[in-house]
Homo-oligomer: A and B are copies of this chain.
Amino acid sequence: MEIGVFTFADVSPGPGGAGAPQRLPELVEEMELADEVGLDVFGIGEHHRPDFAAPAPAVLLAAGASRTSAIRLTSAVTVLGSDDPVRVLEQFSMLDALCGGRAEIMVGRGAFVETFNLFGYDLNDYDDLFAEKLDLLLALRTGRPVTWSGRHRAPLIDAVVHPAPVQHPIPVWLGVGGSPESFVRAGRLGLPLALGIVGGSPARFAPAIEVYRRVLGDSGHTPQPVAVSVHGFVAKTSQAAADIYYPADSELMNRVGRERGFPPTSRTEFGRKILAGGPYIVGSPGEVTERILLLHQALGHERTLFQLAVGSLGHNDVMRAIELLGTEVAPAVRSELGRGIGVLSAPAVELELFLGNQAVEDSAGDRSQLADLPVGETVEKEALHVLAVLWCRAPDGGQSGLGEHGVHGPRRVRVRLPYHQAPGAHPGELVVEAALLPADHLSQLIDAATPAGGL
């Protein structure tokens, strides 16, 4: 399980409120702290409104890139239908280069509709725009020349986006609200799924996630992780968490609610939302841990994201919550569910790992140079913390891993891993952590490892 946070970079445009010049540098500090305390992901959502200050998530994430070292940086979401996939991929490829391969793009149709007027699109094309732009984005991220034409963007002839990202390909998650067709789309396209839950019972999405997993398999794709995002907050005690979070949440809910004609929220309603089974995860570290485990029991997801900094919630409260998530909640969750999101659906203990990097790290933290591993032979390890898996092939022939395009011809190593079933994992799953390192390191290594006649 991965634990992360995201925000729309909420600001309070009124007098005395925290504007972008205060809030954006604070968010960079929040990214730094999240990285320090070992959270897995930090996300920024795109909006074009006075109350949110991040119309270009990659710009803010880049400011965090140069101050963090391990945390993954993602949009949450990129409103793709009203953007240009070329520009989006350019920006996130630059981000990926700046942070050494930690960038991700979460694309969505958008929960607000302000972008349609601003960028001259017709709301009637809401889904068609998204489908078409996503098609182009996925074609471009292969890195191969793309010849393409569509209804909503100028055609391309042999187009390649520069620079290339570090990751091949850069991860693209499909952000979904609750529309059944979105789950099917994510499955058909073989994309990891990011489900945003803003109300109601999270457990009700279990059947939709099952549909997604079935379509994924039926479409010939390898298993992909599921992220679930919720509104959430953590403080030392449950009382403190609710007392700090409620005013910010109600201000936000009422502001957005007024636009949409919803009745005002209340503390009673808030109390119902934070109960077990409700949409919010708000409480003490112990309670939040318990709620994540319950959510995982219901949905079997691999990444939990908290929309943590909302409305007028203060920077100091957010910082303390990030610290508690990283130092108390995440370790407790990981000890139950294991760490990471890479999932191999094979009841096997022997895998071919196509390693693209110089280091594998065993569970004791020792690093073995790839040069020390015999090519094509079987290595036995008690446990491996594998950096830079390009892909893994299980004995049943299925492939998995973070990257499916081993275009650089990586070095193939067979490793034997002990069967490690994380508590709460699906039967037969083997959890492998993987992260890609810069393509340069990779090429140098491959050059060094490749026999004169080529692979």
Greatest chain B CB density within 10 A among A11, A93, A96 is at A93
The reply on A242 being an interface residue by CB < 8 A is no
Question: Is A94 a contact partner of B48 (Cβ separation < 8 A)?
Answer: no
Question: Is B24 a contact partner of A56 (Cβ separation < 8 A)?
Answer: no
Question: Is A98 a contact partner of B440 (Cβ separation < 8 A)?
Answer: no
Question: Is A98 a contact partner of B25 (Cβ separation < 8 A)?
Answer: yes
* Binary contact track A370-395/B, C-beta < 8 Å → 1, others 0: 00000000000000000000000000
From B16, B55, B120, A153 is in contact (CB under 8 Å) with B120
From B90, B97, B121, B154, A21 is in contact (CB under 8 Å) with B97
Question: Is B25 a contact partner of A159 (Cβ separation < 8 A)?
Answer: no
Question: Is A98 a contact partner of B59 (Cβ separation < 8 A)?
Answer: yes
Copies of this protein chain in the complex: 2
Chain A residues 118 to 159 lying within 8 A of chain B, measured CB to CB, are 118-121, 153-157, 159
Specify the chain B residue showing the minimal Cβ separation from A23.
B97
Number of A residues whose C-beta is below 8 Å from B? 65
Greatest chain B CB density within 10 A among A55, A86, A94, A118 is at A94
Cβ–Cβ < 8 Å partners of A106 in chain B? none
Specify the chain B residue showing the minimal Cβ separation from A162.
B50
Cβ–Cβ < 8 Å partners of A54 in chain B? 94
Question: Is B163 a contact partner of A56 (Cβ separation < 8 A)?
Answer: no
Question: Is A98 a contact partner of B164 (Cβ separation < 8 A)?
Answer: no
Question: Is B163 a contact partner of A11 (Cβ separation < 8 A)?
Answer: yes
The reply on A19 being an interface residue by CB < 8 A is yes
Cβ–Cβ < 8 Å partners of A444 in chain B? 16
The reply on A443 being an interface residue by CB < 8 A is yes
Task: Given A24-B97, A157-B117, check contact A56 B91 (CB 8 Å).
Answer: yes
Residues of A within 8 A of B (CB): 11, 15-16, 18-25, 28, 48-50, 52-56, 58-60, 62-67, 84, 86-87, 90-91, 93-98, 100-101, 117-121, 153-157, 159-164, 166, 438-440, 443-444, 447
Q: Offer 5 A-B interface pairs, CB within 8 angstroms, sorted by A.
A: A16-B444, A23-B97, A24-B94, A56-B58, A67-B67
